[in-house]
């Protein structure tokens, strides 16, 4: 059944679903090139480009129970967006499902983590060109430049690892030194290889419950130029896939943020859609569900 406007192969009802897609069309904290509010629908549109059958795992995405809730409602301030997204995402976790949220700028990620049930262990793999560790940016603590900091406050700084960084302010580095955030730069990934660095990152995270926050700008702009704040010297799509494949057995939630269709030739949206599909496939296969 084709349902244009929704994510391809998301044919399950909410009740029977295991993976739940939600778009967050919000980009009011974007600091350079706007447009990420159009990301969710562009990613959905490109998801229809792919075969539902997966060559690597021998699994058909159409056999995996996925539901697409559509987009969260219109927002005012970042604070209002945060409250609204928390309300949308909380029941998804409560019902034992895995939320896959599509942004939107990276300010949309912290509420998806904050909605996770308190008291259950949770760690976060944060893939980004930027450290996003400012306490506040341009007077807004909910800016996309502060997202890793807000997430660290929720899960504990020892439970988040940032991978792919190559852009950071002096203040963030100084704060990081006293607060003890773990990060692996894109330069370290290039030097040591993705297998070693992914292992180093994932060994620090919970063996059971990992949330993945993926800013598409972690990928080199040569592959993913359609984003708000492109940074050279990034990771290759295949390196991101390898990290996702490795962490998928522990996946409890994921977001893909900062796809900006006005700057996209289509390859950025296609990559985002494919990464969402890869994560769902690998997580499903690892769970051993029929």
Shortest reach from residue 124's CB to Mn ion, in Å: 15
Whose Cβ is closer to Mn ion: residue 215's or residue 264's? 215
Residues numbered 65-124 forming contacts with Mn ion, rule: CB under 5 A: none
CB 267 within 8 A of CB 226: yes
**Residue 27 binds Mn ion (CB under 5 A):** no
Whose Cβ is closer to Mn ion: residue 54's or residue 215's? 215
Cα separation of 73 and 119, whole Å? 29
Shortest reach from residue 167's CB to Mn ion, in Å: 8
Whose Cβ is closer to Mn ion: residue 142's or residue 282's? 142
Whose Cβ is closer to Mn ion: residue 54's or residue 132's? 132
Shortest reach from residue 198's CB to Mn ion, in Å: 19
Tokens of residue 6, six digits = 């929704």
**Residue 220 binds Mn ion (CB under 5 A):** no
Shortest reach from residue 145's CB to Mn ion, in Å: 9
Whose Cβ is closer to Mn ion: residue 112's or residue 129's? 129
CA distances from 253 to 93, 97, 106, 111, 193 (A): 8, 9, 15, 12, 26
Question: Which residues are registered as beta bridge partners of 255?
Answer: 101, 213
**Residue 217 binds Mn ion (CB under 5 A):** yes
CB atoms within 10 A of CB 152: 24
| Nearest to 159, CA basis, from 135, 180, 173 | 180
CB 206 within 8 A of CB 119: no
Residues numbered 127-146 forming contacts with Mn ion, rule: CB under 5 A: 128-130
CB atoms within 10 A of CB 261: 21
How many residues lie near Mn ion (CB under 5 A)? 5
Stretch that binds Mn ion, among 3-11, 45-53, 217-225, 278-286 (CB under 5 A): 217-225
| Nearest to 253, CA basis, from 101, 87, 111 | 101
| Nearest to 137, CA basis, from 85, 175, 104 | 175
Shortest reach from residue 120's CB to Mn ion, in Å: 27
Whose Cβ is closer to Mn ion: residue 217's or residue 220's? 217
Interaction site with Mn ion (CB under 5 A): 128-130, 215, 217
């Amino acid at each position: 059944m084709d349902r244009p406007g929704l994510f391809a192969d998301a044919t399950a009802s909410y009740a029977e679903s295991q993976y739940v897609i939600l778009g967050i069309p919000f980009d009011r904290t974007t600091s350079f090139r706007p447009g990420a509010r159009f990301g969710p629908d562009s990613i959905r549109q490109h998801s229809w480009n792919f075969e539902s059958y997966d060559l690597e795992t021998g699994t058909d995405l159409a056999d995996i129970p996925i539901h697409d809730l559509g987009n969260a409602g219109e927002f005012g301030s970042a604070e209002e967006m945060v409250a609204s997204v928390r309300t949308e995402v909380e029941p998804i976790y409560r019902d034992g499902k895995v939320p896959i949220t599509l942004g939107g700028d990276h300010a949309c990620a912290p509420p998806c983590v904050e909605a996770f049930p308190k008291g259950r262990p949770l760690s976060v793999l944060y893939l980004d060109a930027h450290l996003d560790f400012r306490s506040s940016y341009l007077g807004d603590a909910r800016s996309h430049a502060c997202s890793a900091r807000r997430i660290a406050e929720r899960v504990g700084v020892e439970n988040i690892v940032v991978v792919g960084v190559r852009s950071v302010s002096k203040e963030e580095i100084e704060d990081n030194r006293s607060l003890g955030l773990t990060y692996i730069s894109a330069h370290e990934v290039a030097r040591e290889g993705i297998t070693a660095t992914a292992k180093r990152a994932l060994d620090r995270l919970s063996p059971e419950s990992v949330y993945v926050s993926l800013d598409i700008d972690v990928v080199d702009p040569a592959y993913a130029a359609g984003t708000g704040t492109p940074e050279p010297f990034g990771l290759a799509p295949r390196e991101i896939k390898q990290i996702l494949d490795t962490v998928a057995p522990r996946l409890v939630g994921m977001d893909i943020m900062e796809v900006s269709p006005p700057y996209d030739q289509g390859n950025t949206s296609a990559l985002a859609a494919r990464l969402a599909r890869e994560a769902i496939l690998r997580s499903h296969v690892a769970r051993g569900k029929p």
